[in-house]
Amino acid sequence: MTTETMDAAIRYEVDADGICTLTLDLPGEKMNVLGGRLTTPLDEACQRAVADAAVKGIVITSGKPAFVAGGDLKAMGEGFDYSSLSKGEIAYRLGSLSRMLRALEQCGKPVACAINGTALGGGFEIALACHYRVVADDPEIQLGLPEANVGLMPGAGGTQRVIRLVGVKAALPLLMQGKILKPADALAAGLVHEISPVGEIVTAAKRWLRAGGDPVQPWDKKGYVIPGPHSTLEREFRGIFSGSNAMVRANGLGNYPAPELISSVIYEGAMLPMDKALGIESKYFSLLRTGDVSRNLIRTMFVNKGRADRLEARPEGIEKLNFRRIGVVGAGLMGGGIAFAAAKAGMEVVLIDRDQESADRGKDYARKKLARDVEKGRSTQDKMDAVLARIKPTTDYAELGDVQMAIETVFEDFAVKSEVLPRIEAAIPADAFIGSNTSRMPITRLAGSLAAPERLVGMHFFSPAERMPLIEIIRGTATGAQALAHALDFAQAVRKTPVLVNDSFGFFTSRFIGSFVGQSLAMLNEGVSPALIENGARMLGMPMGALSISDLMGLDTGYKAAQQEARDRGEEPPITISSRLVTEFGRLGSKVGKGYFDYGEDGSKRIWPGLAALLPTLSEQPSIDEVKARILYAQLAEGARAFAEGVLVDAMSGDLGACLGVGFPAYLGGPFAAMDTIGVPQVIVEADRLAGRYGEAFALPKIVRDMADRGETFHGATAVLSPGAMAT
Amino acid sequence: MRDILIYDHVRTPRGKGRKDGALHEITPVQLATQSLAALKTRNALPADSIDEVILGCVSAAGEQGATLQRIAPILAGFDDRTPGLQLNRACASGLEAISIAAGKIAAGMVDLAISGGVESMSRIPMGADGGGPHGADPAVTFHTPFVMQGVSADLLATLYGFGRDDLDAYAVESQRRAAHAWNSGYFAKSVIPVTDVLGTVVLDRDEHMRPEADMQSLGALKPAFKDMGEHVGFDKIAIQRYPEIIGIEHVHTAATSSGIVDGAGAVLLGSAEVGARLGLKPRARIRSFISIGSEPILMLDGPTPACRRALAVAGLDVGDIDLWELNEAFAAVPLRLMQTLGIPHDKMNVNGGAIALGHPLGATGAMIAGTLIDELERRDATIGMVTLCAAGGMGIAMVLERV
């Protein structure tokens, strides 16, 4: 037996039977991340094994807990400098792993893959190129090709091998939705050949090799045909794509190229021999890899989200707080949701309201949601009981005597909050901190009601709180480093992404979504058709139009908030179309079946015909592109103004807050990524045009013009320094 | 340009396009052959008199594909020198066949031609030819999205304000007119009985009609395209192209859509010289023939621009047209053409249309051109328009004038 280290990344061992084991083990890394550091030595090791006459067969396995967890998203999030290359050269370069794996499966010697741990993306593609795949019997192992979720597609033969193994119909969800499989599911689907006990997979792989493993892939055998429909001459094949194409277009609105190009690579690849099919895959892959959408998705939703999740913004030198017991004061919708989220994360929750009935109702929120999970098989009765047992509804502030933090979630009224906060302060231990769940009230002002204002930190949750992935953490002028650090710890403990912002009215997310709603209502008041306003938002990629959002939230809720806000600002409440709907017509929103829309019992909705009489109608309606531009640029300009005013610590927080909190389209990567993608000078031209026609909502702050002059961007090497950057 | 004259036309009755339809046992080549043979016999055409046979067919696959058009003339008793051309402009095929022959005649390259179409929808179902790239091929379909035709019909109705009652009322009237025309013998001159291998007549009258239809019976029917629109995603796709609407009203039913039937139609056309030489009496002159594209998602509004251009080329106004024949693909289609051009209903499809009689895809254009000529003669009127919408967003129109 020979053992030697050919390259640090790959261990090369040949046993007495002539079986060469290649162990992927990237030095100095916790995981085998796919990249040139791994694939170049793997290629060399494979070529060496093939050339070595003593080697009869090859086993590929990993020296890390995971096999190969996928590509290097961090590198991908930086984009890809292809400016000097032709499109063909780019596709060729990006196809290097694909060609290497094709050579491996045609090398003439049998190759087995011993999948010891999670194999995703490119890692799973390596496995698919082997003639035999044995995976460890561990249900925690994840197998699959999730590239679609980051705006990409498999680019190393994965699409073509999957359709040749399982057929086009079964391949669609695996490739287009990036479905992840457990080993047992992968075996049932036909993607792996064998499941073996943990620790015995290399033995199992060698057993297959010794038994005369076949060195020819099924698709390289004469007479091979793809299982199931695989040609446009088959009605079922056409039906699969007609249906799938319609759904992709209906729901993606043409904003997400990955599912579209994945459809093409499956459709076209199924009708081609393997080598031509792989060439097609490389071409389509290169289009996604060099596109704006994958870069924006990866940078915001994975790289930057990861940085926020790791609490990069957390003040140093403060011990991490492990939450055992917290208080939630105010058992309404938000309080109930927050209590539920905390209880699910294993915390004891004291849930307080004015009367026991209200407090119990807050706990019922969790009970109802859990019961549905149990009913649908997503949870068990035991787990449900355990979570509920951790929530204690009460009216007694004394129960807060041993909590580590308390969050107030009472009504958005300065007077009410100012009354509750001191009561909480008096009840909780001296080292505990207080979070205020408010969507817009300045924390600095609220802190004025406390004896120790440094204990208060803003914690803006989004509804439904147990599901929405974001918490906006607001640092008031007085907020102490400890409260801030522990608020971030809490976000991590309940598995939500925190974005840290500076204090101001509406912070970031509320004023940001306000610009979307405000611009939509401005159009409505000008006489733009409600259908155009709603569809424009949807087509831009917003989850729903502003009128639908208003109806869903309750027009009365919005009306009361506007009244309150005006009072808080010392202004006269304005009479708006939505206030008229509430006060004159009793149209309170979707909960009563009527708001801007009339809601049918079958779930249908139609614009309320009476709306037309309350509004002017423009004889010449704007184009849908103009409506989309107004909805987009109102948000870009508001984001830029918040950035200029120092509300945002950095552009990344704005992108995350917008995408995770208030539905800004992820394909744009957030308002700041979007401005970089469009180009800051182009943003100025369009925003100035819109400001000239429609007013101040599109006014850009000076910093954006300075950025254009200096050639700066919001992200990357030429990034501008955020006026709100804080030393933490 | 030489005059293009129509000398005669025939059509088969339209059989239900189902397994229990009377024409289901008749092969499509037989439907075509019997139509060609009827023209040959009625007009005592010499075997070598035909320079071109063009037959539209939408689902040209299997027994209905490839060389059907080449072999049918031989089966009908024409000389080997008679060539055959298959063409597919979707639902406009039958009229396009006449248009292409008209162009060849006008150019002096053809003297006498037979144009028409054939479609046995019971034997060769829609889509049997593979369906093409639009809808299935992702690269095509994401560039230019596809929606199912019925959803386009509901979109057309939604955009231009045709409600369920408007459509149902139109269909009831189409049924009434078709029954009246049959009962009055208006179709008798041109409908040929279809015979089986023994020479026995298997069908001599359109069998899709439902003259008993009324508002109540039609009102009970379910919308035909609601599921496709709401669950497959076609509504959302349509709204992305027509964002001025919030939702699509699914108002068309099976009874306000054209019927699926079997049948063939054939038109004899040629130059003035050939008619004189063979002793044929011209019945109509083709004044203009236009094909035009329209937006593919709305798909069905091509007749308006096609008719406008056909009128302009012929130097005519809407008011000059005595009778209109428009294929009733869906009830919203004629309602929309009447709306855009201000056509009174008593000039439109006066003997009913495809809602009552059925729409044998590739053949319909030739059939309704013949129906128009017969009715112009019966009324002693002069000028008529034949028009159809076609899949993928196309319209075709032809102005005919009695001579």
H helix or E strand, kind and range, residue B393: none
Choosing from B9, B252, B307, B389, the catalytic residue is: B389
CB contact under 8 A, B247 and A247: no
Radius of gyration of chain B (CA): 20
> What does each of the 403 residues of chain B score in pLDDT, given as a tens digit?
899 999 999 999 999 999 999 999 999 999 999 999 999 999 999 999 999 999 999 999 999 998 999 999 999 999 999 999 999 999 999 999 999 999 999 999 999 999 999 999 999 999 999 889 999 999 999 999 999 999 999 999 999 999 999 999 999 999 999 999 999 999 999 999 999 999 999 999 999 999 999 999 999 999 999 999 999 999 999 999 999 999 999 999 999 999 999 999 999 999 999 999 999 999 999 999 999 999 999 999 999 999 999 999 999 999 999 999 999 999 999 999 999 999 999 999 999 999 999 999 999 999 999 999 999 999 999 999 999 999 999 999 999 999 9
Residue of chain B nearest A597, judged by CA positions: B246
Choosing from B9, B57, B91, B307, the catalytic residue is: B91
Q: What is the mean pLDDT of residues A368-391?
A: 95
Contacts of A243 in chain B (CB under 8 A): 232
DSSP three-state, residue A429: coil
Contacts of B142 in chain A (CB under 8 A): 245, 248-249, 254, 260, 263-264
Distance CA A300, CA A280 (A): 29
Chain B: give the shortest CA distance to residue A685, in Å.
26
Q: What tokens does B127 get? A: 């889509």
Q: What tokens does A488 get? A: 């971030």
DSSP class of A208: H
Alpha-helical regions (H) of A577-701: 577-585, 611-614, 624-644, 651-656, 671-678, 680-694
Distance CA A443, CA A184 (A): 51
CB contact under 8 A, A250 and B127: no
The answer to whether B71 and B125 are in contact (CB under 8 A) is no
CB contact under 8 A, A531 and B246: yes
Q: Which residues of A227-253 are buried (b: 16+ CB within 10 A; e: fewer)?
A: bbbbebeeeebbbbbbbbbbbbbbebb
DSSP class of B54: E
CB contact under 8 A, A233 and B130: yes
Instruction: Give burial (CB, 10 Å; 0-12/13-18/19+) of A399.
Output: middle
A51 touches chain B (CB under 8 A): no
Contacts of B234 in chain A (CB under 8 A): 246, 250
Distance CA A519, CA A695 (A): 10
Q: Which residues of B touch A (CB under 8 A)?
A: 127, 130-131, 135-139, 141-142, 145-147, 232-237, 239-240, 243-247
The answer to whether A150 and A302 are in contact (CB under 8 A) is yes
CB contact under 8 A, A232 and B130: yes
DSSP letters for A504-552: -TTTTHHHHHHHHHHHHHHHHHHT--HHHHHHHHHHHT-SS-HHHHHHH
| Mutation choice for B interface testing from A260, A535, A542 by most B CBs within 10 A | A535
Contacts of A247 in chain B (CB under 8 A): 232-233
**In this complex, which of B141, B147, B240 lies closest to A253 when CB atoms are compared?**
B240
CB contact under 8 A, B234 and A268: no
Contacts of A607 in chain B (CB under 8 A): 246
Choosing from A89, A105, A147, A584, the catalytic residue is: A147
Contacts of B240 in chain A (CB under 8 A): 249, 253-254, 535, 539
| Mutation choice for A interface testing from B158, B234, B246 by most A CBs within 10 A | B246
pLDDT of residue A728: 45
Residue of chain B nearest A528, judged by CA positions: B244
Distance CA A112, CA A134 (A): 8
> What pLDDT digit, counting tens, does each position of A314-366 carry?
999 999 999 999 999 999 999 999 999 999 999 999 999 999 999 999 999 99
Tell me which long-range contacts A519-525 makes (C-beta under 8 A, separation of at least 24): A519/A630, A519/A631, A519/A634, A519/A635, A519/A697, A520/A545, A520/A546, A520/A547, A520/A631, A521/A546, A521/A576, A521/A577, A521/A578, A522/A694, A522/A697, A523/A627, A523/A630, A524/A577, A524/A615, A525/A577, A525/A615, A525/A616
Type of residue found at A630: R
A401 touches chain B (CB under 8 A): no
Q: How many CB pairs under 8 A join A and B?
A: 98
Residue of chain B nearest A621, judged by CA positions: B244
DSSP three-state, residue A503: coil
Distance CA A615, CA A598 (A): 17
DSSP class of A310: T
DSSP letters for A282-303: HHHHHHHHTSHHHHHHIIIIII
Q: What tokens does A723 get? A: 């006026």
Percent of chain A with pLDDT over 70: 98
3-state SS track over A633-658: HHHHHHHHHHHHCCCECCHHHHHHHH
**In this complex, which of A245, A532, A597 lies closest to B135 when CB atoms are compared?**
A245
Contacts of B244 in chain A (CB under 8 A): 529, 531-532, 535, 621
Distance CA B63, CA B128 (A): 11
A548 touches chain B (CB under 8 A): no
pLDDT of residue A295: 92
Query: Cβ–Cβ contacts within 10 Å for residue B79, how many?
Result: 12
Task: Return mean pLDDT, chain A.
Answer: 94
Distance CA A653, CA B14 (A): 68
Question: What's the farthest any 2 CA atoms get from each other in chain A?
Answer: 89
Distance CA B172, CA B17 (A): 21
> What pLDDT digit, counting tens, does each position of A16-41 carry?
999 999 999 999 889 998 888 899 99
pLDDT of residue B122: 98
Chain A: give the shortest CA distance to residue B145, in Å.
8
pLDDT of residue A79: 62
pLDDT of residue A77: 66
Global pTM? 0.93
A246 touches chain B (CB under 8 A): yes
**In this complex, which of B130, B240, B245 lies closest to A531 when CB atoms are compared?**
B245
Distance CA A139, CA A230 (A): 32
> What pLDDT digit, counting tens, does each position of A498-545 carry?
999 999 888 999 999 999 999 999 999 999 999 999 999 999 999 999
Query: Cβ–Cβ contacts within 10 Å for residue B248, how many?
Result: 26
Residue of chain B nearest A628, judged by CA positions: B243
Q: What tokens does B333 get? A: 């289609």
Tell me whether strands A497-502 and A405-408 are parallel, antiparallel or unpaired: unpaired
Tell me whether strands A433-436 and A456-461 are parallel, antiparallel or unpaired: parallel
Residue of chain B nearest A245, judged by CA positions: B138
Contacts of A230 in chain B (CB under 8 A): none
Tell me which long-range contacts A369-372 makes (C-beta under 8 A, separation of at least 24): A369/A340, A369/A466
Alpha-helical regions (H) of A155-273: 158-166, 168-176, 183-189, 201-210, 235-252, 257-269
Q: Who's near A28: CB < 8 A, 6+ residues apart?
A: none
Tell me whether strands B323-326 and B201-203 are parallel, antiparallel or unpaired: unpaired
Torsion angle of the four alpha carbons B249, B255, B260, B264, in this order, in degrees rounded to the nearest 10: -120
Distance CA B349, CA B113 (A): 27
End-to-end CA distance of chain A: 56
CB contact under 8 A, A539 and B240: yes
Q: Who's near A127: CB < 8 A, 6+ residues apart?
A: A60, A67, A113, A115, A119, A133, A143, A192
Residue B307: active-site member: no
| Mutation choice for B interface testing from A242, A256, A630 by most B CBs within 10 A | A242
Distance CA A41, CA B362 (A): 63
**In this complex, which of A232, A531, A597 lies closest to B244 when CB atoms are compared?**
A531
Contacts of B147 in chain A (CB under 8 A): 246
Beta bridge partners of B331: none
Q: Which residues of A303-319 are buried (b: 16+ CB within 10 A; e: fewer)?
A: bbbebbbebebbbeebe
CB contact under 8 A, A605 and B247: yes
Chain A: give the shortest CA distance to residue B41, in Å.
40
Bond before B83 cis per omega within 30 degrees: no
pLDDT of residue A1: 44
Residue A147: active-site member: yes
Distance CA A307, CA A298 (A): 12
Q: What tokens does A559 get? A: 């009306």
H helix or E strand, kind and range, residue A80: none
Percent of chain A with pLDDT over 90: 89
Torsion angle of the four alpha carbons B355, B360, B366, B367, in this order, in degrees rounded to the nearest 10: -50
Q: What is the mean pLDDT of residues A441-460?
A: 95
DSSP class of A217: -
A726 touches chain B (CB under 8 A): no
- pLDDT tops 90 at residue A72: no
A625 touches chain B (CB under 8 A): no
CB contact under 8 A, B136 and A529: no
